[in-house]
Copies of this chain bind each other. A is one copy, B any other.
Amino acid sequence: MRVDAFKLPTDGPADVRGLTALLDDGVVRADELVCVLGKTEGNGGRNDFTRDLAMRALEDLLAPRLGLPPARVQDRVVFSLSGGTEGVVSPHVVAFARSGTWSEEPGPKRLVVGTAHTRPFTPAEIGRMPQIVETARAVAELAGELRLAPADVHLVQMKGAIPRADHEAVLAARRARTPLRNDMVHSRAASALGVALALGEVALADLSDDVVCDDWSLYSGVASCSAKPGLQRTEILMFGNSDRATGDLVVGHTVLKDILDVDAVRALLAELGLPVTGGQLSPEQRAHVVGVFAKSEADPRGSIRGRRHTMLSDDDIDDTRHSRAALAAVLASVVGDPCVYVSTRAEHHGPLGGGPLAIIARAP
């Protein structure tokens, strides 16, 4: 198996010219496309329609090439579009294509990517052990299919299930004193803990319904979870390095302890063969970087490095926009490229105030 990836700047949410050219020029075949990750210039919130516009444009582009109606394109290609290009962030997508077969013989580890999904969840399962355990199962199974040991999994991007509950179910759960948790916060949290469990970052014995959104010492450094109201099952996208893959890409990850953790960024780049000598990658090094994916979070304790921050008491600008702007600028300053993908909310993704960072780069 070989994975290729293409960083494609966009002129607007509906701009698919970059991918169109790759397809038209035969550089990428539509049926080899696995996923498209990208940043669009909305607010990243509930009324961010730039993601819908981007998906519609991608569906219209790919439907005829895949021989599918537009509404079925996402059964074949995963779109992970994150709104919010605050500060220096430049709108772009990274498209991943997979081709070839597994090598018979081991070689240097190279990027693999795969997708899976959990079984459907009931509303009562969300944010509790059943979601964690089933997510872990699906993640482990996918790692197996991709021939990845836990240590070789570096990014698990998920769209978490939030099945809707009717009013009676809500009331019944409340009366039973086990209020439903089928919301974005708890779905993301349980998704992350599911990854952590699957990859050995936390032990089953340490998990329970009570630790979810409560014991922040438990976390994954590899997960990157969103959650979508109405989704019945969680969709999983996994990136790792396998010695049976070919190509020239590798992925690595680290955990940022806070938004200013520039040394973790540098250490990860060094691991990927891109040691920063001054403060920023050289142009030659920078050309090796294909994708930078991180989770930001305004520290819920209200401070960073012992100093008060104001992100959580600002009623003009959402804290997600503040924290994305800040972390993205820090990442862009080290890499030297404002095409970085930072999404927000990082419950059980790294420690409080911190979160995971994964970088995909050409092997040196």
Contact = CB atoms under 8 A, between A and B. Distances in A.
Interface in A98-142: none
Interface stretch (A72-80, A147-155, A183-191, A325-333): A325-333
Interface string A350-363: 00000000000000
Contacts of A307: 9, 90, 92, 337-339
Contacts of A313: 41, 46-47
A310 B85 contact: yes
B276 A316 contact: no
Contact of A321 (B52, B57, B310, B317): B317
A318 B322 CA distance: 13
A207 B158 CA distance: 45
B14 A279 contact: no
A308 interface: yes
A42 to B, nearest CB: 7
Interface string A299-325: 000011101111101111110011101
Interface residues of A, number: 70
Given A49-B13, A279-B276, A333-B333, A311 B263 contact: no
Interface in A251-277: 259-260, 262-263, 265-266, 276
A213 to B, nearest CB: 12
Interface string A220-239: 00000000000000000000
Contacts of A334: 262, 279
A310 B311 CA distance: 21
Interface of A: 9, 11-14, 41-50, 52-53, 56-57, 60, 70, 85-92, 177, 259-260, 262-263, 265-266, 276, 278-280, 303-305, 307-311, 313-318, 321-323, 325-330, 332-334, 336-339
A305 B338 contact: yes
Contacts of A318: 315
27 contacts: A9-B308, A11-B308, A13-B49, A41-B313, A45-B316, A46-B315, A47-B310, A47-B314, A49-B49, A49-B50, A56-B56, A86-B325, A87-B309, A87-B322, A87-B329, A90-B304, A90-B307, A260-B329, A260-B333, A262-B278, A262-B279, A262-B334, A305-B337, A307-B337, A317-B321, A327-B329, A329-B329
Nearest to A41: B310
Given A86-B317, A87-B325, A260-B336, 10 more contacts: A14-B49, A14-B56, A47-B314, A47-B316, A49-B53, A87-B322, A91-B310, A260-B333, A317-B321, A325-B329
A12 B47 CA distance: 9
B338 A309 contact: yes
